[in-house]
């Protein structure tokens, strides 16, 4: 490690994460910042062989190693029992693999950013005396973060309210969750111009991820049909490949041909998410960690339908933090319908005062320099 006098810059860094983009993206953002500060930094990512990380990380240009670790399923079905037997074997195998990676790479620090794949690596590093830190992007710590708290010199979290959920709050640092740099490249007006929005009608952006998206897309077909009557807003909806076909068919059944309504866009995927989110006046979405970070940093009001299909209901817990601050309106999936979501959107967008208050409340939660705060925390634990 290089000693700058204010903190030691790690020359060899292991990031360990997996499972969801909300765990992988913060690590990628921090890795990018580290390389900008010190281009000779050697970075290795460690994750599971089945997770999203095995595709995202190599595409980003980083070396990737595997530890074989898997979750346990609460079911007595034969397939689930077989899965659990494999998981038992992995519990024995993973620590050995983690120790081997540590011996070979000799990291100066190991940083976990969530997902069960990070557990064996952070624990092995702590036992070997290597500095460790964990970043938790959700409001309430997941099981892996809870288990790693005794092995982490610092737990880094997104909001001050998170501190109460840890046994050692004195080791918790509020850093926020890093957001990709391209979210800040354009002003709101520049983003609107890039999207070709020619008047001052507000822009709604909606997307629901994969879990439970079919039901939400059905609601959005009703929502878009209501909008088509007068086109009070611009609207970009990301429905997924199969969702697009379904929404188009449902709209045709309602007598709505989207080609006749240029203000309403239906996309398989929103590839230019940074531009679209920057231009948005209201976002309809789930409450995954990455989305929450983007909303708060950009200061965009949100109408959130938390996914009921995730572990420990952590999406609703994330969303309620934003709602309590005044930046979001939360509707459970049981309460939601196309009509309900349309009416609540109108209530927000037809009131400039309410919209501005929600935007200010959302901004108050944002931490634009989250990557820098995490970086400084890593320098501190490497002293």
pLDDT digits (tens, 9 = 90+) for 319-342: 999 999 999 999 999 999 999 999
Contacts of 163 (CB under 8 A, 6+ apart): 157, 169, 172, 174
Q: Domains in the chain, ordered, with CATH? A: 2-179+368-381 (3.40.50.2000), 182-365 (3.40.50.2000)
CA dist., res. 157 & res. 162, Å (int):
7
Nearest to 263 by CA among 214, 209, 335, 199: 199
Model pTM score: 0.86
What per-residue confidence (pLDDT) applies to 7? 58
**Helices 289-298 and 21-37 sit at what angle, rounded to 10 degrees?**
60
Q: Look up residue 288 and give its two tokens.
A: 């995954």
Query: Over the stretch 180-216, which tens digit does the pLDDT of each residue have?
Result: 888 999 999 999 999 999 999 999 999 998 766 899 9
Integer-rounded Cα radius of gyration of the chain: 22
Q: Where are the alpha helices (DSSP H) in 106-167?
A: 118-127, 143-148
Neighbours of 293 (CB within 10 A): 27
Nearest 5°: the CA angle 81, 113, 314 is 65
Q: Look up residue 127 and give its two tokens.
A: 């036992």
Q: Look up residue 177 and give its two tokens.
A: 């969750």
CA dist., res. 84 & res. 75, Å (int):
9
Could you tell me which residues are beta bridge partners of residue 234? 203
What per-residue confidence (pLDDT) applies to 83? 46
Eight-class DSSP state of 205: E
Which residues in the chain land under pLDDT 70? 2-7, 70-76, 78-92, 211-212
Nearest 5°: the CA angle 40, 46, 50 is 140
- Residue 91 is inside which H or E element, if any? helix 78-105
Q: Exposed e or buried b for every residue in 245-255, given b needs 16+ CB within 10 A? A: ebbbebbeeee
**Helices 213-228 and 338-349 sit at what angle, rounded to 10 degrees?**
60
Could you tell me which residues are beta bridge partners of residue 172? 155
CA dist., res. 299 & res. 97, Å (int):
43
């Amino acid at each position: 490690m290089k000693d700058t006098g204010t903190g030691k810059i790690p020359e060899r860094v292991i990031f360990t994460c997996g499972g969801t983009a909300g765990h992988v993206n913060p690590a990628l953002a921090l890795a990018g910042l580290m390389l900008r500060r010190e281009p000779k930094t050697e970075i290795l990512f460690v994750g599971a062989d089945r997770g999203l990380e095995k595709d995202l990380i190599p595409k980003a240009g980083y070396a990737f190693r595997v530890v074989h670790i898997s979750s346990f399923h609460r079911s007595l079905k034969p397939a689930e029992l077989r899965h659990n037997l494999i998981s038992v074997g992995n519990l024995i195998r993973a620590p050995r693999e983690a120790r081997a990676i540590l011996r070979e790479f000799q990291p100066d620090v190991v940083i976990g950013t969530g997902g069960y794949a990070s557990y064996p690596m952070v624990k092995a590093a702590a036992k070997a005396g290597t500095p460790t830190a964990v970043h938790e992007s959700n409001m309430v710590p997941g099981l892996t973060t809870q288990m790693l708290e005794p092995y982490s010199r610092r737990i880094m979290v997104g909001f001050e309210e998170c501190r109460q959920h840890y046994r050692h709050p004195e080791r918790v640092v509020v850093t926020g969750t890093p957001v990709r740099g391209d979210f800040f490249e354009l002003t709101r007006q520049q983003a609107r111009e890039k999207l070709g929005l020619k008047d001052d009608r507000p822009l709604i952006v909606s997307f629901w991820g994969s879990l439970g998206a079919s039901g939400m897309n059905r609601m959005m077909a009703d929502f878009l049909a209501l909008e088509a009557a007068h086109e009070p807003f611009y609207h970009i909806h990301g429905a997924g490949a199969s969702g697009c076909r379904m929404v188009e068919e449902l709209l045709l059944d309602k007598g709505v041909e989207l080609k006749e309504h240029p203000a309403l866009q239906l996309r398989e995927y929103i590839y230019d998410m940074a531009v679209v989110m920057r231009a948005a006046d209201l976002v309809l979405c789930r409450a995954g960690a990455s989305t929450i970070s983007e909303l708060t940093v950009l200061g965009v009001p949100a109408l959130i339908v938390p996914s009921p299909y995730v572990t420990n209901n952590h999406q609703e817990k994330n969303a309620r933090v934003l709602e309590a601050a005044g930046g979001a309106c939360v509707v459970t999936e049981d309460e939601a319908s196309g009509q309900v979501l349309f009416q609540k959107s109108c209530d927000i967008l037809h009131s400039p005062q309410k919209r501005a208050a929600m935007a200010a409340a959302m901004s108050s939660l944002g931490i634009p320099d989250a990557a820098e705060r995490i970086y400084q925390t890593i320098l501190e634990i490497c002293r």
